[in-house]
Amino acid sequence: MELIYTNQLEDFDPGKRYRVASLFRSVERDATAVVVVGHFPDIVAAYVGAGVDVEVVELPAPVTVGTQAIASGDLSKLLADLQGESDAMVLLVDGLEAGEIHRPESGELALRLFEVLGTINASVGELSTERDGLVLTVDALREEIEALKKVSITPLPDEAGEIAALKAKLDEAKVQYRANASKESLEKLVAELTKE
């Protein structure tokens, strides 16, 4: 029985027996010939040691970038471009770590990132300015609120006597009211007493 050890996922010949090369554990006793597709020296050594004829089929090493295959002549240019891009990114990141942003001289991705970071930096500056303005506004409003609280809590001297007189009338009539009721609400309660 001839066995083919491969990691391919499709294009199987229905008349042949396949085994997954990456799952190889031991020699199959019924094997009379073995084809090993790819670099699997353990499989080759095991079957050669068992006296079985072994044929090795080497796979060409495809070079792909994204979804495109690259010819070997273009590979050196691609590597040079990638190295330039990488150097530009390193320069950009090093500057950012130092708290500065420097425009790279090359590298499409690095230049795009520089532009985006510049926009983000400007937006953060605007937000910081707005935040600082809001902090000042909030502080001023708090001061105004505190001043208003002090004014509203402390009745005017002549008004305090009027409030006390209104409360005395309501107490005499056994009418309930809030302890911190305003002069206006006390006057309304007293007016209702006179209606009765």
> Is the same domain home to 106 and 179?
no
> Is the same domain home to 37 and 92?
no
Tell me, yes or no, whether 62 lies in a domain.
Answer: no
Separation between Cα atoms, residue 14 and residue 7, nearest integer Å? 16
Measured N-to-C along each axis, helices 72-97 and 108-153 cross at an angle, to the nearest 10 degrees, of: 30
> Is the same domain home to 72 and 106?
yes
> Is the same domain home to 140 and 160?
no
Tell me, yes or no, whether 42 lies in a domain.
Answer: yes
Separation between Cα atoms, residue 56 and residue 5, nearest integer Å? 10
- Which pLDDT score, from 0 to 100, does residue 173 have? 87
Residue with structure tokens 């609280």? 149
> Is the same domain home to 178 and 111?
no
Tell me, yes or no, whether 108 lies in a domain.
Answer: yes
Structurally, the chain folds into a number of domains equal to 3
Q: Which residue range(s) make up the domain with 82?
A: 68-149
**What confidence tens digit (pLDDT) does each residue in 42-68 have?**
999 999 999 999 999 988 665 565 555
Length of the chain measured in residues: 196
Confidence of residue 113 (pLDDT cuts 50, 70, 90): confident
Confidence of residue 34 (pLDDT cuts 50, 70, 90): very high
Alpha helices, DSSP H, located in 27-180:
41-49, 72-97, 108-153, 157-172
Tell me, yes or no, whether 63 lies in a domain.
Answer: no
**What confidence tens digit (pLDDT) does each residue in 133-150 have?**
887 788 888 888 888 887
> Is the same domain home to 96 and 121?
yes
> Is the same domain home to 161 and 143?
no
Q: Exposed (0-12), middle (13-18) or buried (19+): which is 114, by Cβ within 10 Å?
A: buried
Tell me, yes or no, whether 170 lies in a domain.
Answer: yes
> Is the same domain home to 21 and 91?
no
Confidence of residue 159 (pLDDT cuts 50, 70, 90): confident
